[in-house]
Amino acid sequence: MYPFSRLVELARHREMTQIKRIALLRAVNMALYFVSGKLLAFLCLVAFVLNGGTITAPLVFVTITLFNNARTSLTLYFPNGVAQGSEALVSIKRLQEFLLLEEKELNLKYIDKYETSSDGTDVVGVWLDAVTASWALDQHSEPTLHDISFSVSAGQLIAIVGAVGSGKSSLLLSVLTEMPVLSGNLKVRGKISYASQHIHSQQSWSFSGTVRENVLFGGVYNEEKYRKVLHVCALQKDLQLFPNGDATVVGERGVSLSGGQKARINLARALYREADIYLLDDPLSTVDTAVAKHIYEKCIRGYLRDKTVLLVTHQLQYIADAQQIVVLREGRQQAIGTYQELVNLGIDFINTCGEKKEDKCLDTTKVAKNNPKRQVSGTGCEHTAQGDYELREDNHIVGEKPQINASGGEQQTMGSVTAGVYWLYARSGAGILTLTIIIGANVLTQLLFNGSDYLLSLWTDSEQHLYQHEWVRGLSRRAMIITFGALMAGLLTVSLIRTALFFSSCMGASVTLHNRLFNSLMRAPIAFIDDRPIGVLLNRFARDMGLVDDLLPVTAFDALQIGVQLVGAVAITAWVAPITLAPTAALAVIFHVLRRYYIPSARAVKRLEASARSPLYSQLSNTMHGLATVRGFGTETTCADTFDGLQDRHTGAWFMFLSAIRWFGIALDVLCWLYVGSVTGYMTAQSDNPSMTASAVGLTVSTALSLSGVFQWGVRQSAELESQMTSVERVDEYSHVAPEPNLETGLDVRPLPEGWPREGVIEFRDVTLKYSPSDPPVLKNLNVCINSGEKVGIVGRTGAGKSSLIAALFRLTPPTAGAVLIDGVDTGAVSLADLRGGLSIIPQDPVLFAGTVRLNMDPSGDYGDNRLWEALDAVCLKERVMLMAGALDARVSEGGDNFSVGQRQLLCLARALLRHNRILVLDEPTANVDPGTDELIQATIRNRFAACTVLIIAHRLHTIMDSDRVLVLDSGHAVEFDEPYALLADESGLFSGLVRTTGTGMARKLTEMAKIAYNKRHNMDTDVSDSERPLSYDFEAGIETNDECIT
């Protein structure tokens, strides 16, 4: 169902191929370790006898004891030492390569940067003189920025605009000294604060913590300043809706927040820091027009009026007030000057930004008025419509996403590992027949092992003409050698079969457990993934699966083998000298008591260690994603201290675990010494007993020696096995996550019509949606019908329910009540595979996977090269891809970092073009792109999806003014649903209020766009002058454009 999951499957297959090879070598080594002592003793004794020697009990059993000691060193410790030494070398080399990577350093030749002096005598500002900068430092790479020159002083606002990939964010990062400067001169005076977007991804960065912690970011809490920052960032109303206000934990990377909320918290963090220079990377794109206007007026032009501000934006209606505007094109400075100076140069902003200064009709601090109920066109139900759409401090809205109130950490399991976990591991790798063969092979191997010891004892006695049994008299020396050789051959063969089968089964268990875990998480509801830090999930796949793959098979084999050896050793000791059962039983009881004392502590410490590791992964991953912000705020030490604290906690748990193991080992060693001493003392006292032969004494003492060592190691390995089985327990914990319902098979047994959906009619019938039973509904009795082929714009302020409507359509969160119908079919009865396969979506944050361009466009491999090139050509990316090494097979880095955010959006659009489903959903696809790319996306949708039903969630109102209808959502209700021009006729309507917030000039343009589209749909004559014709702005040419491809 998920083609991209094949990437993980292929990577896992390659990993398991290597692990299986290691396991096979380990199986052979373990088999040789088990039989090598016997085999060497047999060969030496045979050579000694054949050369005329006579074997005696002292000779035989001293030899066996020495060979047993030698085999431990030669076949166990030495190979393990070689293997672990090589692994250590690989790890050291990887660490060395990482530590030798180039570090971030200021090039003092080109950069002159320091904070102002405390007496304020230094001049605050930023000066760039012919600056050229690049992410790649090799001489053959094209620089990211070329010859950039401008200056900005205290109290000035400079706007930086340009097309997608023109270098706007890179320019801010060069001021931060994140991007190396290759030539020119960069001078910075003053403390910098940075409203970050991820490097290369333009997504707001948040870390796992409370809202207040994200805003303060290590700063000292000041109540008055904190409240003022929240107000100018339009966050107060959101905090009133959060379950715990600003103490609400936002989750890792802000997963519990909407895009607009993340952007505003990110902005608030920058504002709360007392600084001289503020770098704002497109903070207005991910919020609706009312919020954007509030932020611009109250924050950028109000709170920061005396500060130096560098504003990257695509919202061109806000750039007229800037003291300077820098226009970038392909990393070069195309133009610089005031708004009027650029207009005089032929760069026309009027058609894009409007005359916002004339807007006097909306006060963002007034309380919105409620108008009487009005009929929603096309829905058949009534809702209360809000009058003027305004921001106010006491406005309450329902947030779209559930808020995480806990830290999202791991739940630590208590108690012992149950027998079910052991059975789960055994059954995951082998069937009943294989398990029976493994058990039989272990029993047979031990019989041959102890049988050879007993036969050697009989042979030794027969050489001295002592016979414990009458049947021994009939065996010649030759017969003894042949019988002993046959036992050795059988022991080696059965031992190899045993170890090969066992390790093969363990590898099968690893594959099965990983597949169950991966498939479970791939099919888990989105809420389950969002509610857990990435470190918790990575810990299951990294450390826990690593233990299951590598260490658990060896520990489990040791425990099983030693258990069988113990039974065999006790049996043969009891057969020869029954009296030794007394100290053996005493030893077993003491060991059992020690084990019961040790295991719970070791298990608890092991679980604590595993749980303490997850925050390390999360902290490191989160810090790396927000590294530019961390450096920009100068909080590297704080983040390092946090990581060190987490590392100390994990190291403390790990050291405690190692200490517990060592204590247990020493205690067992002392007991083993006492046991061997008691057995040896007893056998010495029996030296005058005529029934006790020398070989019997030697066999008993050597067995006692081996039994003590085996006993000690067996108890330690059984304890270690239980500790490591917690990893199986933890993997299994996430292998049974309740999947999304009806994943592969729908409830309706009737087959769907071929090619469903054919018409693309969408109906929301009394739909109510909650993210959890305890949360308030985010969609409330929604009744909307969208006709076949309609282009419907969906608008509303942040939290109105726009994204929740899409979640209900795709069944990311199933409706709590009501139904969503497509072509008359209830989607709740359709399998998710069929439902999502019939829909296409271009998300606000474009998703690209590490792999090739081909894989990202066509993950299922359903289309040929010609179709792929056609799709790329349609979105004007064909030339860009052709220039890449490998063309369609060119590498796409993780997250698509080698593409700009706009190019990633276009690739997602190309992916949708290939599938060409009847229903296309666009979730704010142009929020982070320039107007040129915005126009290209809109033109592609109009031309290529003309016969499709298109739903467009938009903050940029001009993108939906030519829609067939506009759906206005407010607090989960559909308050307005009609043609844009018809909605604008109602000046008290919510949609009219939204349009007015854009400014008088832009509102006039938007109204004209709606009128033209209305007349065209109704075949009415329209006389549109050039000044009324909707235009786009092409940053490439600096002039108006109607070209199909705008790059």
Q: Residue 410 has what pLDDT?
A: 56
Of 684, 704, 736, the position where a domain reaches its end is: 736
Query: How much is the average pLDDT of 492-515?
Result: 92
Q: Let me know how long the chain is.
A: 1047
Rg (C-alpha) for the chain, rounded Å, is: 37
* CA–CA gap between residue 727 and residue 732 (Å, rounded): 8
Q: How confident is the model at residue 765 (pLDDT cuts 50, 70, 90)?
A: very high
**Per-residue model confidence (pLDDT) at position 363:** 34
Same domain, 263 and 173: yes
List C-alpha distances in Å: 675 to 521, 567, 588, 662, 694: 51, 17, 10, 20, 20
The amino acid at residue 932 is G
* pLDDT the model gives residue 114: 64
pTM for the full predicted model: 0.65
SS (H, E, C) 522-544: HCCCHHHHHCCCHHHHHHHHHHH
Residues 126 and 89 in one domain: no
Mean pLDDT of the region 691-708: 70
pLDDT at 700 over 90: no
Tell me which DSSP letter residue 303 carries. I
Neighbours of 682 (CB within 10 A): 17
* pLDDT tens by residue, 834-861: 888 888 888 777 778 888 888 888 887 8
Residue that has been written with the tokens 């056609």 in this structure: 870
In a domain, 958, yes or no: no
Q: Whole-number mean pLDDT of the chain?
A: 78
Flag the least confident range among 134-148, 488-502, 557-571, 721-735: 134-148
pLDDT recorded at residue 720: 82
**552, part of any domain:** yes
Query: For the chain, first and last CA: distance in Å?
Result: 34
609 and 549 both lie in a single domain: yes
- Shared domain for 313 and 190, answered yes or no, is yes
What are the φ/ψ torsions at residue 946 (nearest 5 degrees)?
Answer: -60, -35
pLDDT on residue 1020: 67
Could you tell me which of 736, 680, 289 has the C-alpha nearest to residue 516? 736
For 786-815, how does the pLDDT look when each residue is reduced to its tens digit (9 = 90+)? 999 899 999 887 668 888 888 889 888 888
Same domain for 203 and 248, yes or no, is: yes
Q: Which of 887, 916, 945 is the last residue of a domain?
A: 916
- Check whether residue 240 and residue 174 sit in a common domain: yes
Q: What's the gap between Cα 118 and its chain centre? A: 43
Percent of the chain scoring above 90 in pLDDT: 10
Position 827 in a domain: no
* 351 vs 615, more confident: 615
pLDDT for position 254: 61
Cβ neighbours of 486 (radius 10 Å): 12
Residue 1036 pLDDT greater than 60, yes or no: no
Q: Residue 687: is it exposed, middle or buried by C-beta count within 10 angstroms (0-12/13-18/19+)? A: exposed
What is the reported pLDDT for 786?
92
Instruction: Tally Cβ neighbours within 10 Å of residue 368.
Output: 16
Give the residue among 869, 253, 894 at the shortest CA–CA distance from 618.
Answer: 253
Instruction: Taking residues 1004-1016, report their average pLDDT.
Output: 88
Task: For residue 875, give the DSSP letter.
Answer: T
Range of the domain at 870: 845-916
In a domain, 751, yes or no: no
* pLDDT above 60: residue 1035: no
Choose between 692 and 945: higher pLDDT.
Answer: 945
What's the number of CA atoms in the CB half-sphere (13 Å) around residue 982?
16
Indicate if the pLDDT at residue 271 is higher than 80.
yes
348, 352, 357, 363: CA torsion to nearest 10: -170
Position with higher pLDDT, 669 vs 444: 444
The average pLDDT across 646-672 equals: 87
Q: Determine the pLDDT at residue 359.
A: 38
Question: Contact, 942 vs 789, CB < 8 A?
Answer: no
205 part of a folded domain: yes
The answer, yes or no, to whether residue 1027 has pLDDT greater than 50, is no
Summarize pLDDT for 545-589 with one digit per residue, the tens: 989 998 899 999 988 888 888 788 778 777 777 777 787 788 778
In this structure, the answer to whether residues 549 and 644 fall within a common structural domain is: yes
Report how many domains make up the chain: 4
Least confident of 409-418, 636-645, 695-704, 1006-1015: 409-418
Burial status of residue 369 (CB atoms within 10 A of its CB: 0-12, 13-18, 19 or more): exposed
Whether 201 has a pLDDT exceeding 50, the answer reads no
Tell me the average pLDDT across 197-222.
72
pLDDT at residue 351 above 80?
A: no
Provide the pLDDT for residue 89.
93
Task: State the pLDDT at residue 660.
Answer: 86
Q: Is the pLDDT of residue 762 over 60?
A: yes
Is residue 408's pLDDT more than 70?
no
CATH of the domain at 883: 3.40.50.300
pLDDT band at 382 (very low <50, low <70, confident <90, very high): very low
Q: Is the pLDDT of residue 401 over 60?
A: no
| 431-473 pLDDT, tens digit each | 889 999 999 999 999 888 888 877 877 777 777 776 666 677 7
- List Cβ neighbours of 818 (8 Å cut-off, separation of 6 or more): 764, 765, 766, 767, 768, 781, 782
Lowest mean pLDDT among 210-224, 509-523, 595-609, 687-701: 687-701
**Do 521 and 547 reside in the same domain of the chain?**
no
Q: What confidence score (pLDDT) does residue 210 get?
A: 83
pLDDT at 1043 over 60: no
Q: What is the pLDDT of residue 404?
A: 38
Residue 921 located in a structural domain: no
Instruction: Establish if 207 belongs to a structural domain.
Output: yes
Residue 141: what are its φ and ψ, rounded to 5°?
-85, 145
Encoding tokens for residue 559?
A: 């425990």
Residue 749 backbone dihedrals phi, psi, to 5 degrees: -75, -15
Q: Which of 865, 889, 916 represents a domain boundary (last residue)? A: 916
Tokens standing for residue 676:
């061997």
pLDDT at 196 over 80: no
Model pLDDT, residue 107 = 65
Which range in 175-184, 235-244, 440-449, 677-686 is most confidently predicted, on average pLDDT?
Answer: 440-449
Residue 106's pLDDT is 63
pLDDT digits 0-9 by tens, 729-758: 989 988 988 888 776 665 654 577 788 888
281 pLDDT higher than 80? yes
For 767, counting Cβ atoms within 10 Å of its Cβ (0-12 exposed, 13-18 middle, 19+ buried), the class is buried
Higher pLDDT, 423 or 1040: 423
**CA 967 from centroid of its chain's CA atoms:** 34
Most confident range, picked from 386-400, 790-804, 931-945: 790-804
Domain check: are 499 and 561 in the same one?
no
Helix axes 581-625, 694-733, angle to 10 degrees: 30
My answer on whether 82 and 211 are in the same domain is no
Does pLDDT of 27 surpass 70?
yes
Residue 253: predicted pLDDT:
61
Residue 775 lies in a domain: no
To 5 degrees, how large is the angle CA 880–CA 882–CA 886? 120
Give the three-class secondary structure for 878.
Answer: helix
What pLDDT is stored for residue 887 in this prediction? 85
Residues 333 and 205 in one domain: yes
757: preceding bond cis by omega (within 30 degrees): yes
Looking at the chain, the whole-number percentage of residues with pLDDT higher than 70 is: 82
For range 133-161, the mean pLDDT: 82
Query: Do 74 and 187 lie in a common domain?
Result: no
